[in-house]
């Protein structure tokens, strides 16, 4: 019997409690996890590339792809061994296939397709942002849609209405830099090491957040979209002018003021979307969800609006395969499955075009 027929038959027989292998390789983390329900993680394995990219001050796509090729086999084996199973116990595979660095995505997708074919088991591609949202399901067993979710990371900053586990509506998004991207760029200007976000947050704790007034007119008013380019440019200009005049300027004060401006923008826009939807649950997701200033500010704002606030445990904030597994598990239970034509897709525009070409 052909693989596609076998995989479809197995998909139809899946019930809650099956064993899922999930793979994440969208950027600079090679990760795998084993789940035995949508919210129960049996093991996680991650290889980080930070030491490699630190030399260049940011992720080098070609180096990231090569590292994934070198590490993905051993990372998957580690996850399987930690879970106390063999590869023959795996019932299905979930893998990040969009969005991300195309070379990095293709490594994970190709490995997942080969393993699924070899084991004759179903395969499903997962949206990276859906994975970040699903990280909250792992940390909060009681959480269920609908809710408003702020997804803030190095490559994405979106505010979404999550209607159910497989359907979201875009409410607002950044018009330029993602929040994490803006943190990284300002950190570089301040001479901080990669990754810039955590370094800037640490420096900001030593500074005065009211030392500099940083704001963007675009971020005012009732527009749910936002921008960080102006805030970033303001920091660059302040630093540049001080250097030209040979004046000392506190990097800690700049970091604290910039962080305050970014956090204020994200909080205000999230509250706006919460009010517009009439929902009473606010969720934070993505790598920037590890920023304590943002977590605390959103929690306080949600409390004032009499809304519940949820954010993932720190281990699920940054890129990991457990969150991909959680999202993929639900897709499989709902009958979704991809064929061996599954491809890596770098951005949302390409994904929409891809779906239209397929008649989706």
- CB 111, CB 140: distance < 8 Å: no
CA distance 196 to 209: 18
Band (pLDDT 50/70/90 cuts) for residue 57 is: confident
Quick one: angle between helices 179-189 and 251-277, nearest 10? Answer: 170
- Which two tokens mark 8? 């479809």
Confidence (pLDDT) at 352:
37
Q: What are the pLDDT digits (tens) for 293-327?
A: 999 999 999 999 999 999 999 999 999 999 999 99
Confidence (pLDDT) at 216:
86
- CB 42, CB 35: distance < 8 Å: yes
Average pLDDT over every residue of 124-148: 96
CA distance 269 to 221: 9
């Amino acid at each position: 019997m052909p693989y596609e027929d076998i995989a479809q038959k197995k998909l139809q027989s899946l019930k809650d409690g099956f064993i899922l292998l999930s793979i994440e390789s969208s950027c600079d983390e090679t990760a795998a996890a084993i789940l035995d329900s949508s919210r129960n993680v049996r093991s996680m394995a991650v290889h980080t590339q930070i030491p490699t990219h630190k030399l260049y001050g940011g992720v080098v796509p070609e180096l990231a792809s090569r590292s994934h090729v070198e590490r993905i086999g051993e990372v998957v084996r580690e996850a399987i061994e930690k879970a106390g199973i063999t590869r023959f116990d795996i019932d299905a595979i979930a893998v990040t296939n969009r969005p991300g660095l195309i070379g990095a995505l293709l490594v994970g997708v190709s490995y997942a397709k080969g393993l699924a074919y070899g084991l004759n088991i179903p395969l499903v591609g997962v949206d990276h942002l859906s994975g970040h949202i699903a990280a909250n399901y792992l940390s909060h067993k009681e959480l269920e849609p609908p809710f408003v979710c702020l997804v803030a990371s190095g490559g994405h900053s979106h505010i979404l209405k999550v209607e159910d586990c497989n359907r979201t509506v875009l409410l607002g998004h950044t018009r330029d830099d993602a929040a994490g991207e803006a943190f990284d760029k300002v950190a570089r200007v301040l001479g901080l090491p990669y990754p810039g976000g955590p370094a800037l947050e640490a420096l900001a704790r030593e500074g005065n957040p009211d030392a500099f007034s940083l704001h963007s007119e675009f971020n005012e008013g009732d527009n749910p979209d936002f921008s960080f380019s102006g805030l970033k440019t303001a920091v660059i200009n302040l630093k540049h002018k001080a250097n030209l005049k040979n004046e000392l300027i506190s990097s800690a004060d700049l970091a604290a003021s910039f962080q305050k401006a970014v956090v204020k923008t994200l909080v205000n826009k999230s509250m706006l979307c919460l009010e517009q939807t009439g929902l009473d649950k606010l969720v934070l997701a993505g790598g920037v969800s590890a920023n304590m200033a943002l977590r605390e500010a959103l929690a306080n704002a949600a409390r004032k609006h009499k809304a519940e606030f949820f954010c993932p445990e720190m281990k699920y904030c940054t890129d990991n395969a457990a969150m991909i597994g959680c999202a993929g598990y639900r897709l499989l239970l709902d009958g979704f499955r991809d064929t061996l034509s599954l491809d890596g897709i770098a951005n949302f525009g390409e994904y929409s075009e891809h779906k239209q070409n397929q008649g989706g």
